[in-house]
Amino acid sequence: MRYLPLHFDLKDRQVLVVGGGELARRKVDLLLKTEARIHLVAPDIDARLQERLGQAPHQLTLGKYHSAQIRDSALVIAATSEPRVNTQVAEDARANNIPVNVVDAPDLCTVTFPAILDREPLLISVGSGATSPVLTRYVRELIEQVIPAAFSDLAKYLAGRRARLIQTLTQVKQRRRQMEDFLDSPGMALAMQRQDAKADDYLFATSPAPVSGEVYMVGAGPGDPDLLTLKALHLMQKADIVLYDNLVSPGVLERTRRDATREFVGKRSGNQSTRQEDINNLLVRLAREGHRVLRLKGGDPLIFGRMGEEIAALIEHQIPFQIVPGITAASGCAAAAGIPLTHRDMAQSVRMLMGHPRDGQVNLPWKEFSHDNETLVFYMGLGGLATICQQLLAHGRAADTPIAVISKGTRPDQQILKATLETMPGLVARTQIQTPTLIIVGEVVNFP
């Protein structure tokens, strides 16, 4: 290991930056997040840099760099476009044993800038000794997925409780144990939600933390696992039991924790689906047993997801839960098909509707759908497609109104059919189209 990663306390220390252009500005922007005093030297200084460094404790010197300016600096950065000047700065710094970074010249550096994941006060830095900045940024993005933004609140909470913890638990070993238990307890999530007082019950628990389960209601999106939210991914890694249904794609399910128990609670073709009441009871029982239960639902759990009933059961039994939204089929399919759901000229509103037929009828207020400047999105509408088209025609929509049927949107085997209200039922009957399918009606379908 040639480079030792260290976190440098720059409070009230001077950092010399040589250079006044774009390269210098990027470094200055980063340095301004610290409490360093910046001294910038350059013959020409970018207006934005002047604005940022125009006042105390910072200092601007217009003119050429002189070796003497390096004195009293804790860190030196050479960011000019002139290799000769950069080399001179690097040599001076080395001669004075001052750490130096030269932008885009790793050979001249004694320190390099890592890619940073900022969850202040938690900082994660990734470096490759400046050999591959693209790779380090990529790795940082991977880490970003597992360290959500709320870690910042957690780190702040723990920083604020440090003194009290040292006072309460005098032995290092005790404290470490308590902290480990805390990070495994629901207290961690509480601190991340800024419920500090409740988190204290776990951090300062005198007896072992109470074993209490919780439920995560998580939107799995329309199928493409890259459309999961960071928060969804985080909870998917945390839960030890996963309850999922039909709409959760295999690619998404694969992102749940390897050793988690996965239980299917949906409807397999032809078979009876698990009764909603049984799912409610199962959630309550598993959480009571102390499990972290992930309830994974396709799309957004709050849209046609019957989540109200599950939440009511959790509230009734006082089980803690969190809801994480997901990308709903309308958004996912529209994006995949390049269809804007609203458009300045074509559609000023969008409605999400349930197209599922009951006793051969789709019961909807059809009269309200006569305006051609509104986009209609039907969920669960394949079985009712003919009725939907018929009703819209009967209620004033033109025969050539564009309609799209999107099957398995955002998945590798996605299919998109476009036709008119008049021709779509026939087209679908001739095509072996598979569920899940989403129907979009309106001028926007023909966009652009």
For binding to ligand SAH (CB under 6 A), which residues are involved?
222-223, 247, 297-300, 303-305, 328-329, 333, 379-380, 406, 408-411, 436-438
How far is the C-alpha of 294 from the C-alpha of 239, rounded, in Å? 6
How far is the C-alpha of 265 from the C-alpha of 326, rounded, in Å? 19
Name the residue nearer to ligand SAH (CB basis): 155 or 335.
335
Name the residue nearer to ligand SAH (CB basis): 86 or 437.
437
245 assigned to active site: yes
Name the residue nearer to ligand SAH (CB basis): 130 or 220.
220
**Residue 40, burial from CB neighbour count under 10 angstroms (0-12, 13-18, 19+):** buried
DSSP-derived 3-state class of residue 263: strand
Name the residue nearer to ligand SAH (CB basis): 92 or 245.
245
Among residues 350, 325, 355, 354, which one has the least CA distance to residue 339?
Answer: 350
Nearest approach, Cβ of 115 to ligand SAH (angstroms)?
34
Between 196-203 and 172-183, two packed helices, what is the crossing angle to 10 degrees? 130
Q: At residue 81, what is the residue type?
A: S
The pair of structure tokens assigned to 384 is 């009712």
How far is the C-alpha of 439 from the C-alpha of 401, rounded, in Å? 13
**Cβ proximity of 94 and 110 under 8 Å:** yes
Residue closest to ligand SAH when measured from CB atoms: 299
Name the residue nearer to ligand SAH (CB basis): 124 or 352.
352
**Cβ proximity of 220 and 303 under 8 Å:** no
- Choose, from 92, 153, 224, 245, the residue flagged as catalytic: 245
Runs of H (alpha helix) within 254-384: 276-288, 307-316, 329-337
Between 151-168 and 172-183, two packed helices, what is the crossing angle to 10 degrees? 150
Q: What is the dihedral of CA 96, 100, 105, 106, to 10 degrees?
A: 100
How far is the C-alpha of 196 from the C-alpha of 204, rounded, in Å? 12
Cis peptide before 325 (omega within 30 of 0): no
Name the residue nearer to ligand SAH (CB basis): 76 or 377.
377
Name the residue nearer to ligand SAH (CB basis): 148 or 221.
221
How far is the C-alpha of 390 from the C-alpha of 162, rounded, in Å? 67
DSSP letters, 413-439, are T-EEEEEETTTHHHHHHHS---SSEEE
Name the residue nearer to ligand SAH (CB basis): 300 or 310.
300
DSSP-derived 3-state class of residue 30: helix
- Choose, from 64, 118, 267, 278, the residue flagged as catalytic: 267
418 assigned to active site: no
Catalytic residues: 245, 267
